Amino acid sequence: MAVVMVATACGQKPNTLTETQKAEGWTLLFDGTTLDGWRNYNEEGLTGWQVVDGTIQADGSGSDASGYIVTDKQFENFHLSVDWKLQTGGNSGILYHVVERPQFAVPYVTGPEYQLIDKAGYETATGEKIEPWQDLGVDYAMYLPNLEGVKINPAGQWNNSEIVFDNGHVEYWLNGVKTIEYEAWSDDWFERRASGKWENAPEYGLAHRGLICLQDHGYPASFRNVKIKELPRKAGVEKALFNGVDLSGWVVYGTEKFYVEDDCIVVESGEDKQYGYLATREYYDDFDATFEFNQLSNGNSGFFFRSVVFPPAMVNGWQVEVAPKGRHSGGIYESYGRGWLFQPPVEHLVDGWNTMRVKVVGDNATVWLNGVEVTNLTDPAFNERQGRLALQIHDGGGIKVLFRNLKVTTL
């Protein structure tokens, strides 16, 4: 992918765009005068940050648990450019794809971070050694940068960082030099995510869209020339969710039984007879999915969409019901929320194998059962969330359902 790095033209006033930049689609996230469009994470107001001499400035009162400001607007695919300046020993960061929910106390459990730090000054001031995965320019606790050939200006002087997120292809740049390049949600990415700091943060890095965030980590930091160019989504990608052999690409939550037998995913009650979930390791926002299911015993299951996981076995989101006859298969239920949103008035479930199609676009969800449209529901809340797909095992025991031919097309 060819990327043209943006730079402030010689003599160009900070926090402005040239006519060429405007024509290319760049917009400012900071006007140089106000903090309009920014607020504290998970809050409506803004404290601890101010505008000083045409810069966004953190006052240094933040900590690991506080001091984060986010944009009002969410971004999906983008090219972001930010000038930044730290004081001696400073520690800060730029985060993206940040998700706001009360259950997420801090933004870094969802959004990746481009680390900003004055390593030498920090180690001298604190006596703490900085690990490589914490150093300047890292994709925090994930990917290390190649800083060969990069001229890094010292604390008290301006540097420029750029982040390109293009449909999962990620690039980090520092002062005009590309330092990191990787594919989000690849096998390599998931291996790194599971083996380090994010092992117990199940939603880290999965969001396809979210807020831009600046961090006050207890040290004054300044930002200017905060510019972004949105990039188009590449839709229409068809993917098999199940390879017919194993549960690659899926994650089990809870102690119930999920396994593969005779080219099918088997969802079965275990000894604990509790709720259990088999969730995709990736998020799916707008999609068109199809699958077949066969209820061998009881059959109380479901197909979740735009759902998030809270271990050990709580999934918050929307469920397309897969249940015994007379129990509203194809209807939509909001888990840990409002309960039933729609129950189909006519039964279209048959004995043996059934085919379900679920299409979710923006605030609309449409469900077909055995070729018949049974649910067409528009709900503004759908558009407020993103998340995984998941198969459920209900509590109570005695349940066994088969799933096969699970496919999804991104929209």
DSSP conformational letter for 116: E
pLDDT at 2 over 70: no
The confidence score (pLDDT) of residue 196 equals 86
Summary count for the chain: helices (H), strands (E) = 3, 28
Average pLDDT score over residue span 87-114: 96
Name the CA dihedral angle for 138, 140, 141, 147, rounded to a multiple of 10 degrees.
0
**Which pLDDT tens digit goes with each residue over 394-406?**
999 999 999 999 9
pLDDT at 311: 83
Residue 1 scores a pLDDT above 50: no
Does the pLDDT at position 11 exceed 90? Answer: no
Rounded distance between C-alpha atoms, residue 157 and residue 87, angstroms? 9
pLDDT at 219: 87
pLDDT at residue 275 greater than cutoff 60: yes
pLDDT on residue 228? 98
What domains can you pick out in the chain, each with its CATH number? Answer: 19-230 (2.60.120.560), 238-410 (2.60.120.560)
What residues form DSSP beta bridges with 339?
Answer: 334
| pLDDT, average across residues 129-145 | 97
Tens-place pLDDT, residues 245-272: 999 999 999 999 999 999 999 999 999 9
At residue 6, does pLDDT exceed 60?
no
pTM of the model: 0.93
DSSP assigned state of 294:
E
Task: Read off the pLDDT band of 171 (50, 70, 90).
Answer: very high
Tally Cβ neighbours within 10 Å of residue 75: 20
pLDDT per position as a tens digit, 342-371: 999 999 999 999 999 999 999 999 999 999
Percent of the chain at pLDDT > 70 equals 98
User: Average per-residue pLDDT in the chain?
Assistant: 95
The answer, yes or no, to whether residue 7 has pLDDT greater than 70, is no
Give the long-range contacts of residues 187-194, CB within 8 A, separation 24 or more.
189/142, 190/281, 192/142, 192/143, 193/142
Average pLDDT over residues 78-100: 97
pLDDT score at 319 = 97
